[in-house]
């Protein structure tokens, strides 16, 4: 498969692999900029320039900024939720209760990083108040996927109502992220302490 090369004489083409590379540069650049600065603060001109591609190339792969934002959120789930948080929790602990508590060990290290950027899904909810906006709907879905993970851990821990418990635990997680954004360096530990109380109430102490 080939595509026309921008700026080349008509008929000149470049391999699809180069197009794929351009797409990945766009996505990687958007991931870095949008996770750090938010959706509305970063325009497609900036993303294209930072990725080293023409604006036409960006729009060839992503017809609108919303399309690129949705790809960013999907990558955020892939890299942050599954590739980092879930993988680290499963590496550090075994058993549902221990893994639930391990979330805040992972968070504690994250909060101490100089590049701590907060939760992109929460940030999108704050940026877009229209419930029908595709970015908001996608963020709600990605947050629900995190709760599904928590519910599975709660079930493994023997909690009677895994879904309800997952919602409580998710509130602790989101609250600790916001507190860390405020500058509370002990936010993860504080949330973990409350988590131990919730587990003890359920008879599922680690």
**What is the b/e burial string over 168-202, where b = at least 16 CB atoms within 10 angstroms of the residue's CB?**
bbbebbbebbebbbeeeeebbeebbebbeebbeeb
Domain coverage including residue 43? 1-63
- How many of the other CB atoms lie within 10 Å of CB of 97? 22
**Last residue of one domain, picked from the residues 20, 45, 63:** 63
Kindly state whether residues 167 and 140 are assigned to the same domain.
yes
Give dist(CA 83, CA 192) in Å, integer: 22
- Rounded to whole angstroms, the Cα distance separating 38 from 126 reads 10
pLDDT at 204: 86
Specify whether 26 is located in the same domain as 74. no
Query: What's the whole-model pTM score?
Result: 0.87
Pairwise CA distance, residues 190 & 202, whole Å:
19
- The residues with which 2 forms a beta bridge, in sequence order, are 15
Bridge partner residues of 15 (DSSP): 2
Residue 16 has pLDDT above 70, yes or no: no
Are 147 and 98 in the same domain? yes
Same domain? For 149 and 192 the reply is yes
Q: In this predicted structure, what is the pLDDT of residue 19?
A: 54
How many domains in the chain?
2
Other beta carbons less than 10 A from residue 80's beta carbon: 20
User: In whole numbers, what is the pLDDT of the chain averaged over residues?
Assistant: 91
| Residue 206, pLDDT above cutoff 80 | no
Whether residues 42 and 122 fall in one domain: no
Provide the pLDDT confidence category of residue 74 given band limits of 50, 70 and 90: very high
Please tell me the predicted confidence (pLDDT) of residue 184. Answer: 97
The pLDDT value given to residue 10: 32
Per-residue pLDDT, 2: 36
At 8, which CATH number?
Answer: 1.10.10.60
> 12-21, 23-32, 50-59, 149-158: which has the minimum mean pLDDT?
12-21
Q: Burial letters for 115-154: b for 16+ Cβ neighbours within 10 Å, e otherwise?
A: eebbbbbbbbbeebeeeeeebbebbeebbeebbebbbebb
Question: Can you give the CATH number for the domain in which 86 is found?
Answer: 1.10.357.10
Query: Which residue stretches of the chain are H helix?
Result: 16-37, 44-51, 55-61, 65-76, 87-92, 96-111, 120-127, 134-156, 162-182, 187-201
Among 38, 107, 45, which Cα is nearest to 72's?
A: 38
Residues whose CB falls within 8 Å of the CB of residue 20, separated by 6 or more in sequence, listed in order:
none
């Amino acid at each position: 498969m080939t595509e026309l090369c921008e700026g080349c004489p008509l008929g000149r083409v470049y391999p699809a692999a180069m197009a794929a590379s351009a797409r990945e540069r766009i996505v990687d650049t958007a991931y870095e900029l949008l996770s750090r600065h938010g959706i509305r603060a970063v325009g497609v001109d900036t993303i294209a320039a930072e990725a080293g591609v023409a604006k036409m190339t960006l729009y060839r792969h992503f017809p609108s900024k919303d399309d690129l934002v949705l790809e960013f959120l999907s990558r955020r789930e892939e890299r942050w939720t599954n590739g980092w948080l879930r993988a680290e929790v499963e590496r550090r602990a075994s058993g549902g209760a221990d893994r639930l508590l391990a979330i805040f060990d992972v968070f504690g290290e994250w909060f101490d990083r100089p590049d701590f950027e907060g939760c992109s899904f929460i940030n999108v909810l704050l940026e877009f108040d229209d419930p029908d906006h595709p970015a908001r709907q996608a963020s709600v879905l990605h947050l629900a996927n995190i709760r599904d993970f928590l519910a599975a851990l709660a079930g493994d821990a023997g909690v009677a109502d895994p879904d309800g418990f997952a919602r409580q635990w998710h509130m602790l997680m989101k609250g600790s992220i916001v507190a860390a954004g405020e500058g509370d360096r002990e936010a993860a530990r504080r949330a973990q302490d409350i988590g131990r109380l919730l587990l003890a109430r359920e008879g599922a102490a680690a």
